[in-house]
Structure 1
Amino acid sequence: MNFKDCVTWNEIAQQPGIWKEEVSIVKENIEALGKFIEGVKGDKVKVIFTGAGSSEFVGNTICSYINSRIDIEVLSVPTTDIVSMPEQYLDADADIILVSCARSGNSPESVAAVELADKLVKNIHHIFITCNKDGKLAKISETGENKYLLLMPERTNDKGFAMTGSFSSMVVAGVLVLLRKDLDVLGEKVEYVASLVERNLDKIVANAEIVADLDIERIVYLGDGTSKGLAEEIALKVLELTGGKLASFFNTFLGFRHGPKSIVNDKTAIVCLMSNNPYTRIYELDLLKEFKNEGGKKQIIVLDTVYDEEVKANSNYYFSYEDAKLGEMEDIFASLSYLVYGQLISLIKSAKLGINPDNPCPTGEVNRVVKGVIIHEYNK
């Protein structure tokens, strides 16, 4: 089937426009959000990003960067962990802002995590970053002054099976909200990356088709820092959109050597998300050289922001934006340009395998909104 006939294609392609819209939405909310967040009093306020699946990976992607910029502790804890073991994450005497990220806002664990936090934590405040104005989380936001709803643009409520624009919009929103004091500067970076991706979309599609045409059975995404969370999200897109027919994995460059590298065989593609941090790139290049020296038929695909001759020489396929300004940005912004690559590789590979990317699991074992979860009463 033609991947451009899919809803998922449109939802991937429209993301740059959504990112620009997201900057405007946060600017419109920034005064009220600032008052809400700064109104949370306590000895040590803690922010917990939470969600399940791709919504969890929002926090996994942005928290390390946010922690490097502010003195408030920012954590990422999946709703699935909070619901099954709340006492480990919800301290009754802590001062917590629970940031619930959700596409639909209807997942059982998302609702249960909010209810548990209200029940167990004395000083709890909620920010809901969701894409569905009619979802349960959006409705819960109306039930108290300790709750704030930041609604994503309507078109982020993806109709396709996999989260694409919903994920990236929540990443942008999460960073801008927590680092709101630098909103103008950071917003300009988001808008620059968005325009760059828009201009290069045809090139990105062509390069993604090259990867999707490879004769592979496994694909690995490697990224450091914020790009580790991004690699985790892109690896999930592979599993979701191919119905599990293409096995996928993720790790950091250094971490990959410690056992996970065992997965590599001659039918493996390794997609490397290069960092803009010069020190980090030294370690990343070391692994690329190691791959090159090992030989074999594995395929090394590198995504980069600037042109780097040495990196190119140690890869089979080198796709670079060759953009100096992009190369100077923090990875959290620059890596948005990598995200579109990863999503499109999965989409195109799915179509080439004869799968409908909008409905890759027609038998229903996996659903767009998780089903079958029983929430049990917590009485401790």
Structure 2
Amino acid sequence: MTTFTAEEINAQPEIWRDWAALLAAQSEEIRNWIAMRAPREIWLSGAGTSAYLGEVLTRQLGGKLKAWPTTDLVAAPDLAFGANGPILSLQFGRSGDSSESVGLLDMLDAHRPDIDRLNITCNATSTLGQRKGPGPGETRALILPEATHDRGFAMTSSFTTMYLSALACLDPSFDPVAVLPRLAAAAETLLPQLWSIDDRPPTRAIFLGSGALTGIARESALKVLELTAGRTITQWDSSLGFRHGPKAAVDDGTAVFVMISPDQQVARYDLDLASEIRRQFPAASVVTIGSGCDIDLTPTGTPADPALFVLPAQVMAHRWSEALGLPVDDPFAGRNLTRVVSGVKLYGWEA
């Protein structure tokens, strides 16, 4: 079956390679602007998959970055809006038009017009792509290639390319021209292997990772949950955190995927957990993901690597959705979940 989702998964290496030079030029200008504006905090915001970008980047780069999902900020603005000093609100959005994306812009206009904005979106004509704040805060927008504006229900190329683009804007040591072709080559080797794996959808799937890969585990779990329309129940956690209660979810029908960090210090904990689960649950499936693992990938040794680690779940989610007889590009057939969240009732807030 040919689907938009499969095309978008497979297009990622070419998208990254083609985007590298233009991203390098645009991200340098944005980095210089950020340095000039000197924010004390940088809020990384989005909803769902776009929010997980903030989690991955915060764990990858640390420093002044704070992951604040738009769903948190719009519902409970007191959590962050009282922060003092110069702030940059960096908002992600595939469509750039979801209810909470627009809602956060409205709240910034009304209550914190001093906050600078950087909007990273796959949709040039969207609210995030077009709208300017009233000032004195300044606004910049980074528009990704049109090919990243996924037509399928699930975010795939949009997730990885927004991640890599934000990385270039926030990390002065990250060189897209040097790294993205290497990342693309690694993905081109990995993707055919993933499509060739022949297995059936499990009743439960658990994704585990450490550091920045904890956020990738969360995104992986969501991809499977979405594309199987909830028929495969998913869970995610960190490798060390999993023992503290969440391991209760493992049964004989569970597939457990452990991402083995490229960092050798961190990897020891990941490998210990994989061995423990195999020993304690011999009937469960335990699959490691990483260099020399059950799913073998070749990390670049750079902060770009989380984009590789999410590919297995993207492909498995697609294959399992097909095996369940679901329409992969719209597993819910527009009934109760839709590609773009809209029509959410938002309430006014008195600061």
- Normalised-by-shorter TM-score class: over 0.9
**CA-to-aligned-CA distance 1:351-373 (integer Å, 9 cap, x gap):** 00000110100152011111331
Higher fraction of helix: 1
Q: Give 1:334's aligned residue.
A: 305
State which of 61, 70, 76 in structure 2 corresponds to 1:66: 61
8 A Cα contact 2:228 2:331, kept in partner: yes
- Of the structure 1 ranges 191-200 and 241-250, higher mean CA displacement relative to structure 2 is found in 191-200
Alpha-carbon distance in 1 for matches of 2:191, 2:160: 16
1:369 aligned onto 2:340:
yes
Give the structure-1-normalised TM-score. 0.87
8 A Cα contact 1:93 1:122, kept in partner: no
**CA-to-aligned-CA distance 1:103-140 (integer Å, 9 cap, x gap):** 01111111111221233236310000000011111121
1:9 aligned onto 2:6:
yes
SS of 1:188's equivalent?
A: helix
1:109 aligned onto 2:100:
yes
SS of 1:101's equivalent?
A: strand
Q: Give 2:67's aligned residue.
A: 76
By how many angstroms is 1:260 displaced?
0.6
By how many angstroms is 1:338 displaced?
2.1
Residue identity matched to 2:193: K
1:60 to 1:22, Cα distance in 2 relative to 1, 3 A: farther
**CA-to-aligned-CA distance 1:273-305 (integer Å, 9 cap, x gap):** 110111111111211221222143100011112
1:193 aligned onto 2:183:
yes
8 A Cα contact 1:55 1:167, kept in partner: yes
Percent identity between the aligned chains? 29
Q: Give 1:348's aligned residue.
A: 319
Q: Give 1:148's aligned residue.
A: 140
1:304 aligned onto 2:290:
yes
By how many angstroms is 1:261 displaced?
0.5
Q: Give 2:128's aligned residue.
A: 137
**CA-to-aligned-CA distance 1:7-36 (integer Å, 9 cap, x gap):** 100000001112223322322213431332
- Of the structure 1 ranges 230-239 and 116-125, higher mean CA displacement relative to structure 2 is found in 116-125
SS of 2:206's equivalent?
A: strand
Alpha-carbon distance in 2 for matches of 1:182, 1:363: 43
Alpha-carbon distance in 2 for matches of 1:107, 1:216: 32
Give the structure-2-normalised TM-score. 0.94
Q: Give 2:155's aligned residue.
A: 163
Residue identity matched to 1:198: E
Aligned residues: 350
- The runs of 5 or more residues in structure 1 that have no matched partner are 313-317
1:215 to 1:100, Cα distance in 2 relative to 1, 3 A: closer
By how many angstroms is 1:189 displaced?
2.4
Runs of 4 or more above 3 Å deviation? 141-145
By how many angstroms is 1:143 displaced?
6.2
8 A Cα contact 1:23 1:173, kept in partner: no
State which of 49, 56, 65 in structure 2 corresponds to 1:54: 49
SS of 1:26's equivalent?
A: helix
Residue identity matched to 1:147: T
State which of 178, 189, 192 in structure 2 corresponds to 1:202: 192
- The runs of 5 or more residues in structure 2 that have no matched partner are none
SS of 2:256's equivalent?
A: strand
- Of the structure 1 ranges 279-288 and 153-162, higher mean CA displacement relative to structure 2 is found in 279-288
1:92 to 1:337, Cα distance in 2 relative to 1, 3 A: closer
Residue identity matched to 1:329: G
CA RMSD for the aligned pairs? 1.8
SS of 2:271's equivalent?
A: helix
By how many angstroms is 1:187 displaced?
4.2
1:358 aligned onto 2:329:
yes
| Alignment of structure 1 residues 165-244 onto 2, 5 Å | 165-179=157-171, 181-184=172-175, 187-207=177-197, 210=198, 213-214=199-200, 216-244=202-230
SS of 2:329's equivalent?
A: coil
